[in-house]
Amino acid sequence: MMTTLGTDKRNAWSLTADRVDLTRRRQPRPITVRCGEHSVTMDLAATALVIIDMQNAFCHPDKAGSDGPARDPIAPLQKLMPELRRAEVPVVWVNWGNRADGLNLAPMVRFPFRDDLDGESFIVKDGFDAAIVDGLDVGNDDIMVDKYRMSGFWDSQLDSILRNLGVSTLLFAGVNLDQCVLTTLTDASFLGYDCVLLEDCAATSSPDFCTRAALWNIERCFGFVTASGDVLKGLTSDA
């Protein structure tokens, strides 16, 4: 009798009583997406959507304003996520979820979260600020990863989860583009992942020149930049 060993079919062994099959039976599912001056073909079977910090702390109307830039990714993500889930692309939420005592946070990590009036206000796991903002639904098979640094890869389970899923291409979305999204994307590129930023699914409350600099560096050093609409076109035309 054949059984499987692994938490995900993309990275599982096949077993019988006396035989172990280490081959992964993954059928490539290529789609082609326009990324600036490049036409980029990626394998949906090896792709994940990584959504960073779409949390109340940054995106709730009381924090960002009813039409603040941090809310801009909500609408395009609402359209894109169901189609990616339908294509069996994992959706990975990477969010601040700190210990309440902050014992794992060095002073330099805590410094940006200080509040001159109320003291520190770093984001605590399971609190209101840590919750995903209304308007974005978490699917039953979506994956949640707590992060404790600007980059989602430091001190977290993100890298091991992605590798266990057999993922090599990452679509990036979230806030803030020039901070947590950029540092996570940069670390991903250093780790050997293929990185694609979804420009309309990422935003920042920083000045405009920060967005321009982030996009310039991503396109020239760390990956590719596209829009969710181009991914949707690729899903349709390559279906």
Active site members: 53, 147, 180
User: Of 16, 9, 3, 54, which Cα lies nearest the Cα of 198?
Assistant: 54
Using CA atoms, how far apart are residues 18 and 212, in angstroms rounded to an integer? 58
- Do the beta carbons of residue 94 and residue 138 sit within 8 Å? no
Please state, in angstroms and rounded to a whole number, the distance separating the CA atoms of residues 80 and 231: 8
Per-position b or e across 71-103, b if 16+ CB within 10 A of its CB: bbbbebbeebbeebbebebbbbbbbbbbeeeee
> CB count, 10 Å around CB of 207?
10
> What are the residues facing 42 on neighbouring strands?
31
How far is the C-alpha of 180 from the C-alpha of 58, rounded, in Å?
A: 12
In terms of Cα–Cα distance, which of 198, 202, 156, 216 is closest to 42? 198
